[in-house]
Amino acid sequence: MRYIDHASVVKRMSGRMIVNKIFQAIFLVATLFALLTLGVLFYRIISQGMGFLTPDFFMNFSSRFPEKAGIKAALVGSLWMMAVVAPVSLILGVGSAIYLEEYATKNKINSFIRMNIANLAGVPSVVFGLLGLTIFVRALSLGNSILAAGFTMSLLILPVIVVASQESIRAVPKELREASYAMGATKWQTIAKVVLPSAIPGILTGGILALSRAIGETAPLVVIGIPVIIQFLPENFLSQFTAMPMQIFDWAKRPQEAYQSVAAAGIIVLMIFLLAMNSIAVIIRNKFQKRY
């Protein structure tokens, strides 16, 4: 008895192969769509903003006249904000990760902390802005200062840093820890001198990527009321300031055509920043990545 009708299989096979090829082409086109979008996006922004990207653009404050508008205040403001976000978010993030990976036992409180971090990662950034407005700007009366914005951004990227640090701490093999204990080291000595040094490239990579998100994030800054027209550079962490995405948002909203180009020039500066940070992250990942 023959279960398979050879003739009909042969007859249908070529059709099925053709359908396979057609769909392969469709899937490829869909995949290339992402590539195309990215290309168009970069091309549009560069061709629009390049003309405004003069040395003056970096030396001027924002202005009522598009040709005199510059990104100086926003660029310096973003750097000041990063000076708050980087230490705060790294200390909080790495500290939480060490606790969860090395000290936490499997009890209800710790699994609650874990679940909480996962949930926090899904909260929209605009809601973090509302938190920052209520707690930092009003309750702690920091005003719309660098500190208030920096704290808000730190909390926003905290889940990302915690998860990235947890992963790289988990990747440190058990044998290293056991060898350290066998030499008589205490738990903290083991963590500080064995685990963290091997985990630091992964932590830095994740941390830099998270910081690059904080640099580009706009919504929380809008909600906590960061001003856009700032004609001075910040003096300390309680100064008013403005940041690059905020400035771009303001330019993009203006009705005059010329401001579109100014906004595009601002976007180029922002994207160069992000690209540089991402490249550093990739270099660290490739250079220090250890395989056990």
Partner 1 sequence: MALNEQKDKKSVQQLIAIQKGKKGKKWFEKSIPVILFVIASISVLTTFGIVFTLIFETFEFFRRVPILDFIFGKEWLPFSNSQPRYGILPLIAGTLKVTLIAVVVAVPIGLASAIYLSEYASDNMRRVIKPVLEVLAGVPTIVYGFFALTFVTPLLQQFIPELKIFNALSPGIVVGIMILPMIASLSEDAMSSVPNSIREGALALGATKLEVAMKVVLPAALSGIMASIVLAVSRAIGETMIVALAGGSTPRFDMDMTDSIQTMTAYIVQVATGDAGYGTTIYYSIYAVGFTLFLFTLLMNWLAHAISKRFREEY
Residues numbered 35-54 forming contacts with partner 1, rule: CB under 8 A: 35, 37-38, 40-41, 44-45, 48
Residue 7 touching partner 1 (CB under 8 A): no
What is the Cα 153 distance to its own chain's centre? 10
The phi and psi torsions of 69 (rounded to 5 degrees) equal -70, 140
Residue 222 touching partner 1 (CB under 8 A): yes
With respect to partner 1, which residue has the nearer C-beta, 26 or 59?
A: 26
- Total length of the chain: 292
The phi and psi torsions of 240 (rounded to 5 degrees) equal -70, 155
Distances (CA, A) of 205 to 41, 78, 160, 289: 26, 20, 11, 10
Among 50, 59, 83, 126, binds partner 1 (CB under 8 A): 126
At its nearest, how many Å lie between partner 1 and the CB of residue 30? 3
Residues numbered 172-211 forming contacts with partner 1, rule: CB under 8 A: 184, 186-188, 209
Among 52, 57, 80, 249, binds partner 1 (CB under 8 A): 249
Residue 73 tokens read as: 């205040």
Residue 95 touching partner 1 (CB under 8 A): yes
Among 78, 165, 168, 212, binds partner 1 (CB under 8 A): 212
The closest of 223, 171, 225, 230 to 198, measured between CA atoms, is: 171
Residues numbered 251-270 forming contacts with partner 1, rule: CB under 8 A: 252-253, 260, 263-264, 267, 270
Say if CB 136 and CB 178 are below 8 A apart: no
Interface with partner 1 (CB under 8 A), residue total 85
Query: What span, in angstroms and rounded, lies between the C-alpha atoms of 242 and 75?
Result: 8
Query: What span, in angstroms and rounded, lies between the C-alpha atoms of 25 and 27?
Result: 5
Among 46, 225, 240, 258, binds partner 1 (CB under 8 A): 225
At its nearest, how many Å lie between partner 1 and the CB of residue 22? 9
